[in-house]
Every structure is written in structure tokens, then in C-alpha cells.
Amino acid sequence: MPLAPPSPERRPEVLVAHGDRRVDDWYWLRDREDPAVLEHLQAERAYADEVLGPLEPLREALFAEIKARVVETDLSVPVRHGPWWYYQRTEEQKSYRVHCRRPWRGGDPPLGTDPSSDETVLLDENVLAQGNDYLRVANLVVSPRHDRLAYGTDTSGAELYDLTFLSLAPGVPDASETVPGVSYGLAWANDDATVFYTRVDHAMRPYQVWRHRLGEDPAGDELVHQEDDERFSVSVGRTKDGTYVVIACESTTTSEWWVVDADHPGSAARAVLARDPGHEYSVEHHRGWFVILTNDEAEDFRVVALDAMGGSLDDAIEIVPHRQGVRVEDVDVFDRWLVLSERLEGEPVVRIVEIPGAGIAALAGTDAVGSSRVVPCGEHPATTWEGPNPEPSATSLRVEQTSLVQPRTVCDVDFATGTVTVRKVEPVRDYDPAAYCTTRLWATAPDGVAIPMSVVHRADVSLPAPCLLYGYGAYEVSIDPVFSARRVPLLDRGVIYAIAHVRGGGELGRRWYLDGKTAKKEHTFSDFVACARRLVEGGMTTPDRLAAHGRSAGGLLMGAIVNRAPELFAAVVAEVPFVDCLTTMLDESIPLTVGEFEEWGDPIRDRDAYFTIKSYSPYDNVAAVTHPALFVTGALNDPRVGYWEPAKWVAKLRALDPRAKVVFRPELSSGHGGRSGRYELWRDEALVGAFVLDALGAWEVPGGSGLSGGVSSAGV
């Protein structure tokens, strides 16, 4: 007999806020100490495996196609840092990266996949992963003199790392101590013996920066900075030139940066600019000046320079003025060049500005943008971003480019001439970019705003075709068009893949983000539905052949559109979805809640925010209607979206729509990012792909897969 869908018992909990009464039948699922919770998650996993069992041949076919296209033994383009080339290798049948270096002797970066005789393996993640079901490495940073390596390991998915130090110099012993429970971010002082790291509070908020000296007991580490405002999180790093260790304290709407002299790591931190509500900024350093990216009187940000000895914004010199609609997202500083990461007409671009011989202050009053150079890109829509560039004295800029049809391309751009040298194109076996086409479509939202979509499909696709529409729409995160070899098996089965660039993201500048958050959050959901309708009404697909996909905050989007327009979709994939958002945002003890008030609103103290969130909370708005097929994931160790959110949502969906095909597949030994290791990732993506293809009736590759083993013209 086939398993029946798990049906956790109802234990009604009455929740009251602002005079509003809600009854939550499955509130108890958040109690991980209750043995019934783990039993239920195990039952859900068993049910999912049985329901999805018939898709195993398709899943294996997709996995095989993904694996066949990826060149498993590969080498990243080496990056020069000091006297070394640094790079990573992957090896066939190994899931994790190998971090390496070799001496720099001038010339172009060495390419090729075979280890060289002068290669040094710094860290082999495959060795670290032995005996563990899960592994993530973070805070992997080489010391300024290149004699030591710091790295952190997480073997549960909880995003807490054990920090370890290795010696890279002959005759220098490894530090024997391990610093436990470290969060993201690490910076070395210039003495090669002092490191700065972060710790989290009870709600998983990075709130402290600590100083550790190698060879000493971590119990004696010193607290450098503590952020008591629960809306703010801290991070730590270094300026590009190594002059300062920087501490960033940031909420969703406000920033404050502190610096410590990297030559005197025991000195006190000092603020660059005092905290001012609503003021966001970031800091780099160039020859006695702080280069500051700021939203002061600049919705889409401008760049100013401030004497590093101190001062206020009133003392700053403007070097790149505000341009409405051109969002400046980042600034990098070289000895003679300023590099801006911008959003221009909805696409990420990289702009190069020359610093005059008189120094960065000489840019004031000049037409810095007019005389600048944008790194060219031959295809649209596309994505260009700055790659790793650790050397301030570099004469060329490492950039990377891609589109939905063009594999990732690594280039070096000569600062002085603008000459672009392609170092590598991601090798993809049996892939011809000319067989696919990409375009930008526009949908019209209910309020008349034009919503962009990036679309890719085979050039010979027959319309209407199966279609998978992806969306996110939060935190000013942009889902840019990038190539993925893992997507090709779906395209080859005639599936159209589209990205809905909905409000709440940052694709069209800061205003695009502001129009999709807090009281305006409804725009995110109506934008996505408008994109789906545009695809249907434009003849590209039909509702019985349209699927939607989102994860995390994009999973909230999936829950919202299922409630609003279930008839538009045949299937929906919601991975680690933030679907119980009202109850979560009412509980300040849950990780990240307080810091999220500026993104979603504070339903505890603000009655309007409470009812706004309630109006779209997927869990609170499930209706007794016919739902599309649903594939839902969650993770027991997820510190960002509690496993109970998808678990409760699925229980309510089944209760109100007993005939719905709802599959919940929880991971019991990983976190928010899913399983680790590339093969496990490919298998999980293949399972999602199989679910979508099955729901859309697109099992077969027309004419066969054509996988013969050769490398396409998109290769190296």
C-alpha cells in the first residue's frame, strides 16, 4: 500500500496581537525537543521519497546529463596576490575544491588542468569532508605576508565555524588552537599573527568582533567591538591597501563603519562617520583618503572622499555625483584607478575611472563619469561583475561576464587601453550557444509599471512551450541572467526558462527595491503574477505548462502567488520558503527577526505592519481551493528559515486541499543552502528538474540528448 501523506496532529495554539486572534493548529512543530517533530519530518521524507520514486529514472537521466556537460577536472583562472598565483582546482569524482598557489614570476596567469611541479596545495576540502555528511568552508584568508592560512569549517549547516590556522612557511609550526563558534568575516592584521573575527548572539546575529593572537588560548581573546542594537549586524574585513581593518555595522537602512590601524592591531577602533538613521555607506582607503560610497542626498548612491584623519560628510569631496536610476553598488580602489559596479538600464556593468596623478581629490569637480570607460559586453541581457582583484598596483582588471546562453567568461581589462583579454570561457561539453536564444520581455503590473523578464530557450522551440518562471524580490537582491550548465537539460526538453525581475529586488535601482518592501510588498507578488500572465497571453506557454520556482524569500513569493493565482501554474517549487512570516516576525527570539523589521515591518509595535504582513503571509492565507503540484523543501539545521515554516504550511495545504499533490522533502543534516558537495547539489537540482518536467509533461529530449563527449566552442 502506498504511504498516505503525513498528517501531524492538530494542537491548536491561540495567537493574539493588536486585538486580532489567530488559531495555529501546528504551532507545536517548532519545538525541536518534542520527539514527535523529528518523527514527523522523517515521515515527510519517507513520503517524499515514495511519491517521487517513479521520477528516479528521469532524475538519474538529468543528473547524468548535468555531469556529462561539466568538465569535472578544471582549474580556475589564477589570481595574482603578492608573490603568488592563487587558484582552485576541482577533480573528477571529488565533490569539493582544492585551494592552491604557485609562485608568480610575471607574465599571464598560468592555465591548464594538470597540477604543476611548483604547485602548493593550501587546503583540500575533500580531505576535510571525510567522515562528514556536510561541509562548508568559510573565512579562508591568507595572511598579509602569505605565511599563514585561516579557514573555518561547518559540518552541520548551522553556519557556525571552527576557525583553524595553518602555517604556509617552512619551519613555522601550525597554530595548535581552534577558535570555535565563529561567524562570517575574518581579517588579518599586518603582523601576520593577529586576526579579527565575529561571533553571533542568541538570535544568530553577528554582533561582536573579537581579536585573537595566534598561539594563545582563544578563551583569552579580546572583544574589540559589540553592537547592541539588534537591528544591526557586524562584519569585518580589510581595506584593499591593507592600511585598516574595517568593521561594518549595518542594518537594512543604516550603516556605521569603524577602522583599526592594521599596523597596530591592539589599538582602539574609531568610527569613520557617525551613525545617522537612514544613511548607508561603505568605505575603502586610498593614500590618506577614505573613499566612501554613500546614499546621502543620493537615492542611487554617489562617491565622496574624506580625509582619513577624520571629519564629517560636510568635509567630504564629491568625486562621482549621483545619477538618478544608475545604482552604484560597489566601489573598488586601485593605485591609479577607481572601479564602480553599477546597474545601468537593468544590467550590472563595471565602470573604470582614472585617478589623476594629483590623487583622488583631484576628481572633484571633473566629469569623472563622462571620461570613464564601461567594460564592453556583446550580448543583452547579460551580467558583468568585478572578479577578484587583490593587488592595488595591478595594471589590469579581472572581470567576469555571462548571460543566459553564454558560459561564464573570465577577462582581464587593461586599465590604460581598455583592451580586453579573454582568459577563459567556462568549458561546457556538447553545448553550442548558437542553438539557444535569450531576450528581454516586459510585463505590465496592475499599477502600470513595466516589469522586466530575462528569457532563454532553444532557438527551435515550438510555442506554446513548457515554461519555468523564477523569482525572488527582496533585500535589494538582483537575480541577474547568468549561464548554468545545469539548466541545459531542461532547455533541451523544450522548456522556456524565465526570470521575473520583480520589485523588491535591485535590478532597476534603489527605487525598484523600495517599491517592493514593507507597506509596498504586495508589488512583489502582483509583479510575478503579471509576468506569468504575460508569458501566457503572449503565447509562450499555457497555465497547464507553466511552473514557478523560488527559494527562501523567493519561497515566500511562491506561497503568495499560490494563494493569489493558483490557476496560473501547473507546479510550484518552494525551497526553504519563508511562508510563516507573520508568526516569525512576531517572535524576537527567532534568529534574524529583529534585523528583518526594516525589510518587512515590525508587526509587534506597528499595527499597520501587522495587518500588511498578515494580508500576504502564505500560511495565514491558505484557502480551500485547487492548488498546483507543490515541491517544498526545508532543513532541520537552517538558521535563516525555520524548518517548521514549510512543515506547517504543507500540513495546512493538505488539510484544506486533500487532493493536492504536495511533496515536502526536509533535509535532516544540513542548513539553508541545502546539501554540500557539487554532486549532491547536482542530484538535488536533478530531482527538482524531474518534478517540474513531470508536472509539465516534458520528459523527453526531442531527437535525443546528443551527448557525445566533445567540448563545445564555448570551451577554453
Q: Where are the domains of the chain?
A: 13-25+36-67+439-696, 134-279
pLDDT in tens, 189-241: 999 999 999 999 999 999 999 999 999 999 999 999 999 999 999 999 999 99
**Are 416 and 395 contacting, i.e. CB atoms less than 8 angstroms apart?**
yes
Taking CA atoms, 29 is separated from 3, 512, 634, 667, in Å, by 21, 36, 13, 16
- Provide mean pLDDT across the span 480-504: 97
What is the model's pLDDT at position 104?
95
pLDDT in tens, 563-614: 999 999 999 999 999 999 999 999 999 888 999 999 999 999 999 999 999 9
Rounded Cα distance, 389 and 553, in Å? 31
| pLDDT mean over 533-547 | 98
Please tell me the distance from the alpha carbon of residue 488 to that of residue 170, in angstroms, as a whole number: 47
> Which of 170, 142, 165 has the alpha carbon at shortest distance from 86?
142
Number of neighbouring beta carbons within 10 Å of residue 168: 17
Q: Work out the burial of residue 438: count CB atoms within 10 Å of its CB; fewer than 13 is exposed, 13-18 middle, 19 or more buried.
A: buried
Instruction: Tell me the C-alpha distance between 78 and 104, whole Å.
Output: 10
For the domain made up of 13-25+36-67+439-696, give the CATH fold.
Answer: Rossmann fold (3.40.50)
pLDDT at residue 709 greater than cutoff 50: no
CA dist., res. 557 & res. 438, Å (int): 24
Higher pLDDT, 316 or 112: 316
H or E element that contains 541: none
Give CA–CA dist 64/173, Å, rounded.
44
pLDDT score, position 171: 83
Cα gap 140→153, rounded to integer Å: 9
As given in the structure block, the three cell numbers for residue 683 are: 542530484
CA distance 2 to 7: 15
**131-151 pLDDT tens trace:** 999 999 999 999 999 999 999
Residue with cell 568585478: 386
Residues whose CB is less than 8 angstroms from the CB of residue 176 and which lie 6 or more positions away in sequence, other chains included: 215
CB 130 within 8 A of CB 95: no
Rg (CA), the chain: 26
Exposed, middle or buried: residue 622 (CB in 10 Å: 0-12, 13-18, 19+)?
A: buried
Give me the pLDDT at residue 511, please: 97
Q: What CATH number matches the domain at 134-279, 3.40.50.300, 2.60.40.10, 2.130.10.120, 3.40.190.10?
A: 2.130.10.120
What pLDDT is attached to residue 706?
39
pLDDT digits (tens, 9 = 90+) for 391-436: 999 999 999 999 999 999 999 999 999 999 999 999 999 999 999 9
Given a cut of 70, whether residue 712 has pLDDT beyond it is no
How many residues are given for the chain?
716
Residue given cell 534603489 in the structure block: 510
Q: Is the pLDDT of residue 80 over 60?
A: yes
- CA dist 573 to 48, 481, 547, 555, Å? 14, 20, 8, 8
Strand, helix or coil for residue 678 = helix
Res. 518: pLDDT tops 80: yes
CB atoms within 10 A of CB 255: 22
Percentage of residues in the chain having pLDDT higher than 70: 97
Q: What is the overall mean pLDDT for the chain? A: 95
pLDDT of residue 254: 98
Check residue 114 and give its pLDDT.
73
Q: Which of 72, 73, 59, 68 is nearest to 705 (CA)?
A: 68
Strands 148-154 and 161-167: antiparallel
Where do we find the cell 518552494? 574
Tell which residue, 600, 645, 669, 592, has the closest CA to residue 204.
Answer: 592
Rounded Cα distance between 88 and 110, Å, is: 12
Give the pLDDT score at 318: 97
pLDDT of residue 116: 76
- Environment class of 62 (CB within 10 Å of its CB; exposed 0-12, middle 13-18, buried 19+): buried
Smallest CA-to-CA distance from 629 within 692, 688, 685 is with 692
Contact at 8 Å (CB) between 6 and 40?
A: yes
Contact status, residue 213 vs residue 196, Cβ threshold 8 Å: no
Instruction: Flag whether pLDDT at 713 surpasses 50.
Output: no
- Inform me whether the pLDDT recorded for 716 exceeds 70: no
Interval 661-667 mean pLDDT: 97
Q: What is the pLDDT of residues 12-53, one digit of tens each?
A: 999 999 999 999 999 999 999 999 999 999 999 999 999 999
648, 580 Cβ separation under 8 angstroms: yes
- pLDDT, position 172: 81
Query: 3-state SS of the chain: helix, strand, coil percent to 5?
Result: 25, 35, 45
Per-residue pLDDT band for 707 (boundaries 50, 70, 90) equals very low
How many angstroms separate the first and last alpha carbons of the chain? Answer: 53
Say if residue 705's pLDDT is above 60. Answer: no
Averaged pLDDT for residues 670-696: 96
Residue 553: enclosing H or E segment and its boundaries?
Answer: helix 553-564
- pLDDT reported for residue 702: 64
Sign of the torsion angle spanned by Cα atoms 204, 672, 498, 697: negative
Strand segments, DSSP code E, in 158-312 are 161-167, 179-182, 186-188, 194-200, 206-213, 222-226, 233-238, 244-250, 255-261, 270-271, 281-286, 289-294, 302-307
- CA distance readout (Å), 188 to 79, 105, 209, 580, 617: 19, 25, 13, 40, 43
For 636, the grid coordinates are 532541520
| CA-based nearest residue to 622, from 658, 586, 666, 665 | 658
Cα–Cα distances (Å) from 281 to 95, 190, 253, 328, in that order, read 38, 25, 10, 11
Active site positions, annotated: 552, 638, 672
- What's the pLDDT at 498? 98
- Average pLDDT rounded to a whole number, residues 174-180: 93
Classify 331 as helix, strand or coil. strand
What DSSP string describes 59-92?
Answer: HHHHHHHHHHHB-SSEEPPPEEETTEEEEEEE-T
- CA torsion sign for 484, 490, 495, 498 is negative
The 3-state secondary structure of 406-427, one letter per residue: CCCEEEEEECCCCCEEEEEECC
- Looking at the DSSP bridge assignments, the partners of residue 341 are 330, 350
Q: What is the mean pLDDT of residues 675-697?
A: 96
Task: Look at strands 84-90 and 98-103 and give their pairing.
Answer: antiparallel
- Count other Cβ atoms within 10 Å, centred on residue 564: 18
Collapse the DSSP code of 3 into the 3-class scheme (helix H, G, I; strand E, B; otherwise coil) and give the result. Answer: coil
Cβ–Cβ under 8 Å, residues 654 and 627: no
Residues 104, 391 contacting (CB under 8 angstroms): no
Distance of alpha carbon 499 from alpha carbon 481, whole angstroms? 8
Predicted TM-score (pTM) of the model is 0.95
Percent of the chain with pLDDT over 90: 93
